[in-house]
Amino acid sequence: MHRFLRSGLAGVGVVAIALALGACGADQNPTLDAQPTTRPSDGVTTSSTLAPNVKVFVVTVTGNKVDGGPQVDEVKVGDPVRIEVTSDTANEVHVHGYDLSGTLAPGVTTRIDLVADKAGQWEIELHDGNVLLATLRVDP
């Protein structure tokens, strides 16, 4: 009976090591760093590590205008979302309906992470100048 117990424990140990090693390389992305970043100006803390199902929307603003024009970003209720905004001027980005905002510094990408838990259409805009960046459309 002890022989079966020892071989069973050894098998569990091998499986645990294999899972741990597999997990180490599963979600690695060399362009993303796993350290959370804090922007002192607004106190928002985010992590730049992304789960595979995160919907990422990128907006670039030049001269208070959205490069390529405002877009409609479509997701479903429950989807995790990351909004990345880079501007050539200081401003504040705001996601209506979720009351989330981030401070923009020239040339620095600001990230806003959320779970799309409210169906509807929500504007993403710059506060100064009321510039529409995009519309987040959350479908049921």
In the structure encoding, which two tokens stand for residue 52, read together?
């595979």
In the structure encoding, which two tokens stand for residue 106, read together?
């020239």
Model pLDDT, residue 42: 38
Model pLDDT, residue 120: 97
Model pLDDT, residue 43: 34
Query: What pTM value is reported for the model?
Result: 0.65
What span, in angstroms and rounded, lies between the C-alpha atoms of 6 and 118?
Answer: 52
Model pLDDT, residue 123: 97
Nearby residues of 26 by Cβ (< 8 Å), 6 or more positions away: none
Model pLDDT, residue 51: 77
What span, in angstroms and rounded, lies between the C-alpha atoms of 119 and 38?
Answer: 29
The answer to whether 82 and 56 are in contact (CB under 8 A) is: yes
Model pLDDT, residue 34: 26
The 10s digit of each residue's pLDDT in 28-45 is 332 222 223 333 333 333
